[in-house]
Amino acid sequence: MNRSKRLSAFLSILIAVLFLLFLLFPLYWMLLTSFKDNSVLFKLPPEWWPSKPVLSHYDKLFSDGVFLGYYRNSLIVCFCTTAVTLLAAMFAGYGFSRFEFKFKSFALFSILSTQMLPVVSLLIALYTMYNNYHLLNTRAGLVIALTTSCLPFSIWMIKVFFDNIPVDLEESAKIDGATRFGILFRIVLPLTKPGLFSIGIYSFILSWDDFLYSITLINKDELRPLNAGIAIRYIGELSYDWSSIMTVCVTSIVPITLLFLFFQKYMVSGLTAGAVKG
Amino acid sequence: MRLSEKKKDFLFLAVLILPALLLLLFTIGIPILKSLYLSFFDVSLLSMKTQTWNAFGNYKKLFADQELVHAIGVTFRYVVTVVFLQFALGMMLALILNGKIPFRRALRTVILIPWVIPTIIGALLWMWLFQPQYGVMNFILQRLELIGKPLQWLSDIHLALWAVTIAALWKQLPFMVTMLLAGMQGIPGEMYEAAMIDGAGKRQQFFHITLPMLKNTIKTVTLIACIENFKMFPLFWIMTSGGPVNATTTLSILSYKTAFIDLDLGKGAATGALWLVIMLLFSWVYNRLFAIGEGKGGAAH
């Protein structure tokens, strides 16, 4: 009995280690490759630990005059998307949580089911519309499109947070003569901070991940965000100069990984609240 | 007085939900209707002003050239494989992390990192790992003597879809594990204690407590995974561009290529429309399947 218990404990640790290798080794390999000189890169067997790490790929990347531009575009677009999503989702989530009205469940259901629609067929029509309204090749256009891809799940998540706040608080504030917006901003929102953090981070990650919207709606190189820029410029130009490509990769995941490590508590609680209850 | 309060409430509600609804209407509601409309016309990206009705011509073309049927097959094969694998493996890892394993709190955080890595970065990373001559994947597999000569992961008709599936698994497994784990932690411990007193083994506990209690979580996360993979574009686009010889051309790749590479917006829109119908059917069947399970569960108790 004791022996089989120890065996099963050993087995589960072994399996956990295998999973860890699968999930984390690629990231280590990416980091390692970015520090390898091209003379080392193609050695077989490969170097598992850099014998003489070089920074030349990073130097080259930061001085090429384009990469930092892509980076800036991405930061601008993602911060704007996150801000607009937060604002719109917080209002809508509060409305859906506190008021009863006709077609409410229908509206909520339709909002959530937009997640199912194939993005490419949306894009075909969106492209023609953007063309008519002169929104192609503008940051505003991209932000609007990305916001709506973040909104459905954000509204759903933040509604769950509002649902968990007792209404009594608001009622007593109302008796004290507070306005509706006053109640929302001074009483309810401070209590929903974790929820706001969750949807903020969710939107940032989602917009940092975007590829399809930005390659379709932006054709000007100076407006391109990171992912589209990487795919269009670096893959072709560096034609599989893997150390440089891995350098691009490492650099572009720094902000998102830091954000995640600082705020992972909020993110996990937010996502599980939204998905498990929904 | 009372009426005006009600009116104020109504106005307040409108201010709250209208911005979100209008945004969604503008970039999702109208485009989807417009795209259905476009699918009945001859429209090209070069001549968007002229749209001529072509009497289901786009749809006829689609069914005539076999590409669509092939793409539907590839899409389903990919979605079913990747969702099944991530569910099975995710359940395994979640069970381990839910048990008494050292460093489990740290592990739960670290394993989530691949999930925040942008999809196209994941695609590039796996292309390097799968690189035939110098990629570390072939090297390790050869060292372990699992394969004789290097595999052409991304240019072999039979391997390309698997290569993409592995990359997708790497990125999506963390989310699956986290969700299942959150579900497991919501199951009250007394249920397991009671089962142990009744002499139920680990396996029985899993099938009679864990699985049934997780049913709603499982339904939600697998549905999210199915939808996400039905829509998957960047992994395929970067890793294989649909090749070799259309072996990895899914519906999203096919409709994107038709609309934005061949510049035939009408035919692209028609592909999208059929895709939409397939998605609707799929989610209907999916809900039916879980409803059947519900009926059985009710009868058993």
Task: Look at B117 and A256 and tell me if their CB atoms are within 8 Å.
Answer: yes
Q: Name chain B contacts of A15, Cβ cutoff 8 Å.
A: 92-93, 96
- Which domain CATH number covers A177? 1.10.3720.10
- How many angstroms separate the CA atoms of B125 and B113, rounded? 14
Q: Do both A271 and A249 map to the same domain?
A: yes
Among the partner-chain residues A16, A145, A216, the one whose CB lies closest to the CB of B96 is: A16
The answer on A109 and A198 residing in a single domain is yes
Q: pLDDT at position A236, please?
A: 65
Are residues A97 and A48 part of one domain? no
- Between A65 and B3, name the one with better pLDDT: A65
Q: Nearest CB to A95: which of B13, B121, B237?
A: B13
Angle (CA) A192-A196-A197 rounded to 5° is: 120
* A8, part of any domain: no
- Is it the case that residue B75 has pLDDT exceeding 90? yes
| pLDDT recorded at residue B123 | 94
For residues A198 and A177, membership in a common domain is answered with yes
Q: Say if residues A148 and B23 touch (Cβ distance below 8 Å).
A: yes
Q: What is the pTM of this model?
A: 0.89
In a domain, A12, yes or no: no
In a domain, A15, yes or no: no
Count of CB atoms situated within 10 Å of the CB of B147: 13
What value does the mean pLDDT of chain B take?
Answer: 86
Residues A63, A50, single domain; the answer is no
Q: Residue A208 CA to chain centroid, in angstroms?
A: 5
CA atoms lying within 13 Å on the CB side of residue B281: 6
Residue A148 in domain: yes
- Of the candidates A37, A76, A89, the one whose C-alpha atom is nearest the C-alpha of residue A198 is A89
Residue A208 forms part of a structural domain:
yes
Statement: residue B296 has pLDDT above 50: no
**Residue B41 touches partner A, C-beta closer than 8 Å:** no
Same domain, residue pair A44 and A173: no
Residues B228-245 have a mean pLDDT of 90
The answer to whether residue B235 scores a pLDDT higher than 50 is: yes
B220 interaction partners in chain A (CB closer than 8 Å): 275-276, 278
Domain count of chain A? Answer: 2
Residue ending a domain, among A54, A74, A103, is A54
A16 within domain boundaries: no
Whether B255 has its CB under 8 Å from any CB of chain A: the answer is: yes
Supply the angle between the helices A242-277 and A2-34 in degrees, to the nearest 10.
130
Q: Which of B131, B142, B153, B152 is nearest to A45 (CA)?
A: B142
Helices B119-129 and B160-185 meet at what angle, rounded to 10? Answer: 130
Contacts of A227 in chain B (CB under 8 A): 118, 120-121, 234
Together in a domain, A141 and A215 = yes
Indicate if A114 and A242 belong to the same structural domain. yes
Same domain, A39 and A101: no
The whole domain housing A223 covers: 58-277
Q: Within this chain, do residues A150 and A50 fall inside the same structural domain, yes or no?
A: no
- For the ranges B28-37, B44-53, B126-135, B143-152, the lowest mean pLDDT is seen at B44-53
CB pair distance less than 8 Å for B179 and A272? yes
Residues A173 and A259 in one domain: yes
Residue A166 in any domain: the answer is yes
Q: Give the chain B residue whose CA is nearest to the CA of A155.
A: B20
Are residues A23 and B256, on separate chains, in Cβ contact within 8 Å? no
Whether B284 has its CB under 8 Å from any CB of chain A: the answer is: no
Contacts of B139 in chain A (CB under 8 A): 44-46
Among the partner residues A20, A126, A257, nearest to B27 by beta-carbon distance:
A126
Q: How far is A195 from chain B (nearest CA, A)?
A: 17
Decide if B20 and A128 are in contact by the 8 Å CB cutoff. Answer: no
Whether residues A165 and A230 share a domain: the answer is yes
Q: What domains appear along chain B, each with residue ranges and CATH number?
A: 74-249 (1.10.3720.10)
**Res B3: pLDDT:** 61
Contact A154, A192 (CB under 8 A): no
Quick check: is A206 in a domain? yes
Kindly give the confidence (pLDDT) of every residue in chain A, 278 residues in length, as a single tens digit, with 9 standing for 90 and above: 577 878 888 888 899 999 999 999 999 999 999 998 888 888 778 888 888 888 888 988 888 888 899 999 999 999 999 999 999 999 999 999 988 888 888 888 888 888 888 888 889 889 989 988 999 999 999 999 999 999 998 998 898 889 888 888 888 888 888 888 888 888 888 888 888 988 898 899 999 999 999 999 998 888 999 999 988 887 766 666 888 889 999 999 988 888 888 887 777 777 776 665 54
pLDDT tens column, B77-117: 999 999 999 999 999 999 999 888 888 888 888 888 999 99
- With contacts defined as CB-CB under 8 Å, which chain A residues touch B20? 88-89, 91-92, 111, 151, 155
